[in-house]
Amino acid sequence: MSRWRKIGEVTRPVSREMARALADRWRELPEHVKTPAQVLGRFGLGCEGTHGVFPRCNFSCTPCYHSSDANRVRVDGEHTVRHVDAQMEFLAQRAPHAHAQLIGGEVTLLDPDDHARTLQSMRRWGREPMSFSHGDFDYEYLERLTHDAQGRRRLRRISFAVHLDTTMRGRRGLRRTDDERALTPYRAAVMANFRRLRREKKVSSFVAHNMTVTPANVDQIVDVVRESQGFGFGMYSFQPAAFVGDRRRWREDYSTLDADRIWSKIEEGAGSPLPYRVLQVGDLRCNRTAWGFYVGDQWTSFFDENDPRDLEARDALLRDLGGVHFSAPPFLLVLRLSRVVLRHPTLILTAGSWTVRTVRRAGGWKKLLRERPRITTFVMHRFMDAEEVGPAWRDLQDGTWADVPERREVHERLLACSYRMAHPETGQLVPACVQHGLLDPEENRHLANELPLPRRRVKESLER
């Protein structure tokens, strides 16, 4: 290939592989989610997650989506690196870049060197990794994660999803509580660690706040968001509890959780309506997402769903910028965006007028200059019960399509899934609902044989 051709390929706004992956994803989606707001198959491919790597956790949450054997499995760095690498290689064959969650039990039970090697492997395969944790770790862990034993920086940026809520048992200093406000100092402390990392070590971070919603804490969502909105979380993600995982940890009737009620509590906490139809990720019965930003304590959506000009700007974003790799090195990103603008010069006008309108809605330039805007996304992700996912997944494998409306809903949601996991051994991508509801128990039984705990720790673990 000539040098100019190579330059042309590298600076393509969207690589050929990514364009193909997007087209495939769009084709696979069920018709009911192919709306003008749909981001899957147009802007991105959704999220990926790891599985079968380190299911062990030192907390005991109620509920817990892990199967009852998870805590019989030893945390093993070599196993984690090897299997995550294989899963990411498989995903990279389908799409050159995506966001991927390093998820299992508690990620900080991994030795920091093994954790770092795993993140580096994920990046090598074009993934932007996010580590899932209960947040009960010290600053020193973050420092060692991002620096090697000689103190050399090996990660310039990290992403964490920190799970912090009253369904959890085992946090140092507060083993259990029923009051979400009692966790506010812990939310503040974890964010202070990430700020210190940036200040002292020049490592940037993105941190999401995760909360499992149950009938007992649903009304406390308002306090969680209000009290922590200035802490610097880039995302608030709420997962209504479902009947998945360890049955011994199911305490309440999760079927009483109503999506609209939960969303209204999140809106009350944010102090603003959160429009979730203007951009849609997969099926709205699985995901509601509202993108926007805080200025002071006022949250503003990126798009006003009632303004046709904003809807045009949204359409332009999905049409002209879909598939661009925004985590690419900055100089490459600038070249690629320049080519987008050359190809679609009207984008400048669209972006300009959208900026003016959005700044006005947020309170004007002066306010924005005085109080730095903070991008903050609100998400509600509703996992399904294992009992309904199992039969529906088997139908899909057999190519049958249920007539019963409830089963059909599960089919539709699984087909539009935005959060999937790789199975290189079978060549399948599996929705996380299927992974946790159907495949984890068997996988963890195997892992307990492959990576057994030292004998004396089995009893302690099972008692948790």
Q: Does 413 bind ligand SF4 (CB under 6 A)?
A: yes
Tell me which residue of 271, 205, 198 sits closest to 233, measured CA to CA: 205
Looking at the Cβ atoms of 209 and 381, the one nearer to ligand SF4 is: 381
Binder to ligand SF4 among 164, 197, 417, 453 (CB under 6 A)?
417
Cα 42 to the center of its chain, rounded Å = 18
Binding mask 432-451 for ligand SF4 (x = CB under 6 A): xx------------------
Shortest Å, Cβ 233 to ligand SF4: 21
Partnered with residue 40 across adjacent β-strands are 44
Looking at the Cβ atoms of 225 and 286, the one nearer to ligand SF4 is: 286
Contact of 230 with 297, CB cutoff 8 Å: yes
Looking at the Cβ atoms of 176 and 394, the one nearer to ligand SF4 is: 394
Q: Does 29 bind ligand SF4 (CB under 6 A)?
A: no
* 242 backbone dihedrals φ, ψ, rounded to 5°: -130, 165
Which amino acid appears at position 371 of this protein? E
Structure tokens at 46: 């959704």
Which stretch, 91-99, 220-228, 390-398, 430-438, contacts ligand SF4 (CB under 6 A)?
Answer: 430-438
Judged by CB under 6 A, the chain residues 112 through 141 that form the site for ligand SF4 are none
Distance between CA atoms of 57 and 210, rounded to whole angstroms? 16
Shortest Å, Cβ 314 to ligand SF4: 21
β-strand 374-381 against 287-295: which pairing, if any?
Answer: antiparallel
Distance between CA atoms of 419 and 30, rounded to whole angstroms? 16
Shortest Å, Cβ 415 to ligand SF4: 9
Contact of 385 with 437, CB cutoff 8 Å: yes
Distance between CA atoms of 417 and 129, rounded to whole angstroms? 19
Looking at the Cβ atoms of 318 and 434, the one nearer to ligand SF4 is: 434
Binder to ligand SF4 among 382, 422, 430, 448 (CB under 6 A)?
382
Shortest Å, Cβ 75 to ligand SF4: 24
Binder to ligand SF4 among 286, 295, 321, 324 (CB under 6 A)?
286
Distance between CA atoms of 157 and 202, rounded to whole angstroms? 9
User: How many contiguous H segments (helices) and E segments (strands) does the chain have?
Assistant: 17, 11
Tell me which residue of 207, 170, 205, 204 sits closest to 187, measured CA to CA: 207
Looking at the Cβ atoms of 115 and 127, the one nearer to ligand SF4 is: 127
SS3 content of the chain, % helix, strand, coil (to 5): 50, 15, 35
Q: Does 381 bind ligand SF4 (CB under 6 A)?
A: yes
Binder to ligand SF4 among 92, 155, 384, 448 (CB under 6 A)?
384
Binder to ligand SF4 among 13, 55, 126, 282 (CB under 6 A)?
282
Write out the residues near ligand SF4 by the rule CB under 6 A.
282, 286-287, 381-384, 413-414, 417-419, 431-433
